[in-house]
Amino acid sequence: MATAFCPALFIAAPASGQGKTTVTAALARLLKRQGKTVRVFKTGPDYLDPQILSQASGAPVEPLDLWMAGEAYCRQRFYEAAVEADLILVEGAMGLFDGEPSSADLAALFDIPLAVVMDVKGMAQTAGAVMAGLAGYRADIRIAGLIANSCATARHRELIEGALPAHIPLLANLPRDPALTLPERHLGLVQADEIKNELEARFEAGADAVQAAGFLQALDALEPVSFTASQHAPPVPALALAGHTVGVARDAAFSFIYQANLDLLEALGATLAFFSPLSDSHLPECDALWLPGGYPELHTAALADNHAMKAAIREFFEADKPILAECGGLLYSLETLTDYDDRCHAMLGLLAGHGAMRGRRGCQGMQSATLPEGEIRGHAHHRSMAEGTPEPIGFGRRQRHPAPGEAIYRERRLTATYLHLFFPNNPDAVAALFARQAVCDSTSCEAFDHAAQ
């Protein structure tokens, strides 16, 4: 079995909001600045953090989730990164033990040491107690040390360091500095493309801070981790989409796109053609469309006013060509979308129904989409609702709860749902979903509808 050895560090925290992304981005930029090859991964389903980390590291960043992607996929991606990297960084999600699977589960499975980022504002010796609890909670994890974020003074550092258990070092202390903090938006971080120059300044300031804190010595002390190639990754049907062009919406309104999904489409033989529903007047020559998630609610007027693009997509739909619309793509496919300012705008009208934003309340969680083409795992994350929609052909299956998940709609060759699908989970189903020939006719899809319900 092929094996590669590479130092690795897992950046975790006792809770969200502790500064994991800030620290991971700063470390990635520092290593890049020194000419090192760093490969960064993000735990769990996430679109926004990987955009930030990709800009910081200068290389693609993808999420790894043991449930959504599977152990075999995660193992292969780690192995491929270890072959070429000087260091692997993994950013955790939420708190260290939160979720099923958790950051701790991923770190333990691949024996990656954990650096815990903790915002120590308002505490001192208590940080030692928290670290002792985290380190002793499970026997199968390795704590490399603490990164004390928002550490005010040298005396503050001394109090924290003196309270840590003997086997847990203080790896670094970072100052309270708004210039290091990454900006946020209603679903998480602001998209990297919107504030590239501002992010560059923050990355450089963060790299300076972690270098001044002596973090390089801690990285140099890391021992290589053994990563083995996977023997059980889902096989990709060779060239199932050969000669096939998939049009992919990609702009400020539609940007929730896993690189792994694009890679899978290309591995299936498809050619990718990107277009902008915001600014383009026509579709590229293509056989199928993918309208991914994003922030259409922030661009409702521009989407509504681009009548040429709306007409082109409607014509594509009426020609019975395959379209996958996920979350933001679903909202775009409806008759109207009402934004946060209660302004209603006309959308594509491919699917009956009306979308509206609903403030801070939302829906999220891991689910499987049960389709006529097969089951594909993914997740939901939205703060909108769709009303007046037709009867769905089925519902997402929640990871650990019996209640029905997100509705899945099918109108002609349009498949629309709030779910974000992870294509590598089921390459065969994805190939069938984008194929020129439908996997089922109306009669067999009706049978699937009844069975699913």
The H or E element spanning position 273 is: strand 271-275
Distances (CA, A) of 315 to 180, 282, 429: 48, 11, 25
The H or E element spanning position 116 is: strand 114-119
Active-site residues, by number, are 327
User: What three-state secondary structure class fits 202?
Assistant: helix
Q: Rounded distance, CA 308 to CA 414, Å?
A: 20
User: What three-state secondary structure class fits 11?
Assistant: strand
Which residue is it, tokens 């192995």?
Answer: 79
Reference 244, options 109, 84, 435; nearest CA is 435
Q: Which residues contact 319 (CB under 8 A, 6 or more apart)?
A: none
Q: Rounded distance, CA 211 to CA 108, Å?
A: 28
Could you give phi then psi for residue 322, rounded to 5 degrees? -70, 135
User: What three-state secondary structure class fits 102?
Assistant: coil
Q: Rounded distance, CA 131 to CA 147, Å?
A: 11
The H or E element spanning position 392 is: none
Q: Report yes or no: 408 and 369 within 8 Å, Cβ to Cβ.
A: yes
Q: Is the backbone of residue 68 left (phi > 0), alpha (psi -120 to 50) or beta?
A: alpha
Q: What is the Cα 235 distance to its own chain's centre?
A: 23
Q: Report yes or no: 60 and 22 within 8 Å, Cβ to Cβ.
A: no
Any idea what the Cα angle at residue 276 is, between residues 272 and 281, rounded to 5°?
110
Give me the amino acid identity at 257: I
Q: Rounded distance, CA 424 to CA 264, Å?
A: 6
Q: Report yes or no: 163 and 170 within 8 Å, Cβ to Cβ.
A: no
Structural tokens at position 275: 């277009």
Structural tokens at position 400: 């650990």
Q: Report yes or no: 46 and 422 within 8 Å, Cβ to Cβ.
A: no
